[in-house]
Amino acid sequence: MAAISSNDIKNGITLKIEDGLFTVVEFQHVKPGKGGAFVRTKLRNARSGAVIERTYRSDERLEQAIIDKRDMQYLYRDGDDYVFMDQSSYDQVSVAAKSLGDASNFLVETGKAMLVLFNDEIIGIELPASVELRIAETEPGIQGDRVSGARKPATLETGYVVQVPLFVGPGEVIKVDTRTGDYITRA
Q: Hey, how many other C-beta atoms are within 10 angstroms of the C-beta on 49? A: 11
3-state DSSP assignment of residue 106: helix
Structure confidence at residue 40 (pLDDT)? 92
Residues paired with 132 in a beta bridge? 175
C-alpha separations of 133 from 30, 74, 76, 171, 177 in Å: 46, 14, 16, 10, 11
Candidate CATH numbers 3.40.50.720, 1.10.3210.10, 2.40.50.140, 2.60.120.10; the one for domain 68-126: 2.40.50.140
Asked if pLDDT for residue 42 goes beyond 90, the answer is: yes
Percent of the chain predicted with pLDDT > 70: 95
Q: Do domains 68-126 and 130-186 have the same CATH topology?
A: yes
pLDDT (tens digit per residue) in 69-115: 888 999 988 888 889 998 888 888 888 887 787 888 888 888 888 88
pTM of the full structure: 0.70
Domain 2-64: assigned CATH number: 2.30.30.30
CATH, range 130-186 = 2.40.50.140
Collapse the DSSP code of 152 into the 3-class scheme (helix H, G, I; strand E, B; otherwise coil) and give the result: strand
pLDDT the model gives residue 144: 62
Would you list the domain boundaries of the chain?
A: 2-64, 68-126, 130-186
